[in-house]
Structure 1
Amino acid sequence: MKPILIAPLCLTVLLGACADMGADVDPILDGAPSAQFQSDLAACRSLARSQSQLDHETMAAAAIGAGIGGILGEADEDGDALGGAMVGALTGAAAGASEASDTRKAIVLNCLRGRGHAVVN
């Protein structure tokens, strides 16, 4: 496989693996859940999943990581700018995906709070 194709393939696999991260949070409630809780939780999780994992911030993080990785790879004694760029892109995308996961978790928790549930975390 051509090295130039490895980074997009790895990025796709990484983001696919993270597709539901954050949305599957199990919230901690202050008190007993109401009868409506499970229905609201499913709706809030669905809302969080609808947020794109491959957003502008994730792509920007991947691009910045690729740039930094390329520069560091070129500066290395082996001079592997392409390898550095690929590693940097994957690292940046992973950081962006992690942030997207945190955002999804916050969406679920805030959605439940908005529906009247006493969510602690």
Structure 2
Amino acid sequence: MPYRKLSLILPAILVVGACTNVGANYQPVIDGPVSPNYNADLAQCQALARSQPTLNSRTAGAAAIGAVGAAGTKAIIDDSASDLGRTAAAGALIGAGASALQNTQNQEVIVRNCMRGRGYNVVG
């Protein structure tokens, strides 16, 4: 039984650990010299990226579309209403997750562009 709990918790820990250098926390790879103001510039660019939320109204819309799409597909394929709620919930999670991922990628782009605007040669 403890192995079953570990198998459920371990993927969540790995996902959280993998998210340390993403979104507004992104630290770009700089080619060439960095100025003495690098840390302050990076902090300001990350703060700018944090001003764009990971979860927003588009995330809610994506969750609704995912729920309706998944439930509709299940109803058509199975021709029944069994487990329709669980299917809708799974679709909502997938839709919200996809939207949150897109918003996180947008935050990284904000950090990159901001650092480029401050004169850094950002390569990654």
Report the TM range for the smaller structure's normalisation: 0.7 to 0.9
Structure 2 match to 1:107: 110
Give 1 or 2: higher helix fraction: 2
1:82 to 78, 81, 85: 85
Quote the residue 1:95 is aligned against.
98
Partner of 1:13: none
Using the size of structure 2 for normalisation, the TM-score is 0.75
- TM-score by length of structure 1 reads 0.77
The runs of 5 or more residues in structure 2 that have no matched partner are 1-15
**After the TM superposition, which parts of structure 1 deviate over 2 Å for at least 4 consecutive aligned residues?**
72-79
For 2:34 and 2:67, locate their aligned partners in 1 and report how far apart those are by CA, in whole Å: 46
- In our comparison, the structure showing a higher alpha carbon Rg is 2
Instruction: Report what 1:40 is aligned to.
Output: 41
Percent identity at matched positions? Answer: 42
Cα deviation per residue 1:32-75 (whole Å; 9 max; x = unaligned)?
Answer: 21111110000010111111222222122111101011113334
What's the C-alpha RMSD, in Å, of the aligned pairs?
1.9
Distance of 2:115 and 2:60 partners within structure 1: 29
